[in-house]
Structure 1
Amino acid sequence: MRTFVHLLLFVAAIVIAVGAFGPLVGSVDARNVQFDDIRNGFTNGWSLDQIGSHTGAFPTSLAIVLLGVAVVILLAALFGSRLAGWVGVLVGLATLGVLAWRLDDHFDHQLRTDYHHLLLSDTWGLYLVGGGLVVTLLLLLVPRERRRAI
C-alpha cells in the first residue's frame, strides 16, 4: 500500500475507536446495546431513552465489536494487509446494518416521525464510526504502488 494509505487507515482506525464510545441514535450508545439485543431484538415496551440509560456488561456490548473493527483496521494499516482492512470494513458495516435493522424492527414509527432529533442531532458516534468505515473502504480501493524495474 502507499504511505498515505497507511497513515489515513491509522487515522480512520482511531476515529472508529473514538466513535464506539459516542451516541449512535438519540441517547443510545454502543455500550448500551448488548449482543442479546442484537440477536433477539430489543425488549418490548422499552423506549430509546430506557435503552440509552440501560447499562450492561462491557464485554457483551456492541462497543467491543466496534473496537475490534478498529483494531483490525489498525493492524491493516501497520502491516499493509488489504485483506485485514476488508474484513474490518465488512464486519463494521454488517454491525451497523444489523443495529439499524433491529432499531427499525422495534422503533420504526419513532424513527420515522422523530428522525431529525434522533439521527441529526448529537449522534457524533454514528458519524465517526460510519465516516471512518467509508473512508477505510475508499482507501482500500486505492491501487497498489507499482514496483519499478531496475
Structure 2
Amino acid sequence: MRTFVHLLLFVCAIVMAVGVFGPLIGTVDARNVQFSDLRNGFASGGSLDQIGSQSGSFFSSLAIALLAVAAVVLIAALTGSRLIGWIGVLAGLAGLGILTWRLNQNFDHQLRDDYQDLLTGSWGLYLFGGALLLSLLLLLTPRERRAPIGTPPGRVGV
C-alpha cells in the first residue's frame, strides 16, 4: 500500500474506536445494544429511550464487535495487508447493516416521524460510519508500482 494509505487507515482506525463510545442514534450507544438484540430483534412496543437506558455486559454488546473492527483496520494499517483491511471493513459494514435492519424493523415509524434522532447527537455513528467509508475508499486506491530490478531511483515510470 502507499504510505498515505497506511497513515490514513491508521487515523481511521483511531476515529472508529472513538466513535464506538459515542451515541449511535439518539440516546442509544453501542454498549446498550446486545448481541441477543441483534439476533432476535428488539422487544416490540419499546422506544429508543428504553434501549438507551438498558445496560448489559460490555463483552456481549455491539461495542466489542465494533472495537474489534477498529482493531482489525489498525492491524491492516500497520502491516499493509489489504486482505485484513477488507475483512475489517466488511465486518464493520455488516455490523452497522444488521443494526440498521433491526432498528428499522421495530422503530421505522418513530425514526421517520422524529428524524431528529438521526440528525442530532449521533456523533458516534458519524465518526464510526465516516471512518469506515473512508477506509473503504482507501482500500480501493491502486497499489504502488514497483520498479524493475536494476532501475535507478527516480526512473520508475519513465
Do they superpose with TM above 0.5? Answer: yes
Corresponding residue number in structure 2 for 1:143: 142
Q: How does 1:1-150 map to 2 (within 5 A)?
A: 1-115=1-115, 117-149=116-148, 150=151
**Bigger fraction of residues in helix:** 1
Structure label with greater radius of gyration: 2
Q: Cα distance, 1:44 vs. partner?
A: 1.9
| CA distance in structure 2 between the partners assigned to 1:141 and 1:104 by the alignment | 30
Task: Say which SS state the counterpart of residue 24 (structure 1) adopts.
Answer: strand
| CA distance in structure 2 between the partners assigned to 1:95 and 1:118 by the alignment | 20
| CA distance in structure 1 between the partners assigned to 2:14 and 2:122 by the alignment | 17
Q: Cα distance, 1:54 vs. partner?
A: 0.7
Task: Say which SS state the counterpart of residue 130 (structure 2) adopts.
Answer: helix
| CA distance in structure 2 between the partners assigned to 1:3 and 1:66 by the alignment | 25
Specify the code of the residue in structure 2 equivalent to 1:35: F
Aligned residues: 149
Normalising by structure 2, report the TM-score. Answer: 0.93
Task: Say which SS state the counterpart of residue 38 (structure 1) adopts.
Answer: helix
Normalising by structure 1, report the TM-score. Answer: 0.98
1:68-95 C-alpha deviation (Å, 9 max, x unpaired): 0000000000000000100111010111
1:35-66 C-alpha deviation (Å, 9 max, x unpaired): 00000000122211011011110000000010
Gaps of 5+ in 1: none
Task: Say which SS state the counterpart of residue 45 (structure 1) adopts.
Answer: coil
Specify the code of the residue in structure 2 equivalent to 1:79: T
